[in-house]
Structure 1
Amino acid sequence: MRFPKFDLDTYNRTKDLSGGPIYAIVEEEIPEIEMITDENGNPTRGGLIGYALAYVCMAGLVGAMFYIL
């Protein structure tokens, strides 16, 4: 997955130029989220617990939004 972001490094290097700074937009690659596995390719217990907690938190947030709204 890629998303565009403001290039702060180029901006900070060129902000003192007489003509003004150079603005640039760059695309950054975001690594995909994948299950943590051991050397045999089996999901680890910690990875399974982490996924379960993440889904419980997400379901709780959605449920709270429906309850509040």
Structure 2
Amino acid sequence: MRIVKFDLNTYNLTKDLPGGATYGVVEEEVPEIEMITDENGNPTRGGLIGYALAYALLAGFVGAMFYFL
């Protein structure tokens, strides 16, 4: 997955130019989220617990949005 973000380095280098600063964006590669596995490729117990907690938090958040809205 790629994200696009503001190029602060170029902006800071060119902000004092008479014509103004140069604005730009850069694409950055973001690594995909993977299940934590052991050396045999089996999911670890901590990874499974983490995924279960993440899905429970997501379900609770969505449920709270439906309840409050």
Residue in structure 2 matched with residue 2 of structure 1 by the alignment? 2
Matched length? 69
Tell me the SS of whatever aligns to 1:13. helix
Separation in 2 of the partners of 1:43 and 1:13? 46
Unaligned runs of 5+ in 2: none
TM-score (norm 2): 0.93
Question: Partner letter of residue 65 of structure 1?
Answer: M
Matching residue of 2:34? 34
**Which letter does structure 2 place at the counterpart of 1:64?**
A
TM-score (norm 1): 0.93
Partner of 2:13: 13
SS of match in other structure, 2:38: coil
Q: Which amino acid aligns with 1:19?
A: G
Please, which runs of 5 or more residues in structure 1 have no aligned partner?
A: none
Displaced runs of 4 or more, over 3 A = none
Of all paired residues, the percent bearing the same amino acid is: 78
| CA shift digits 1:3-61 (9 cap, x unpaired) | 21110111111111122111111111111111011111111111111000000000000
Q: How much is the aligned-residue C-alpha RMSD, in angstroms?
A: 0.8
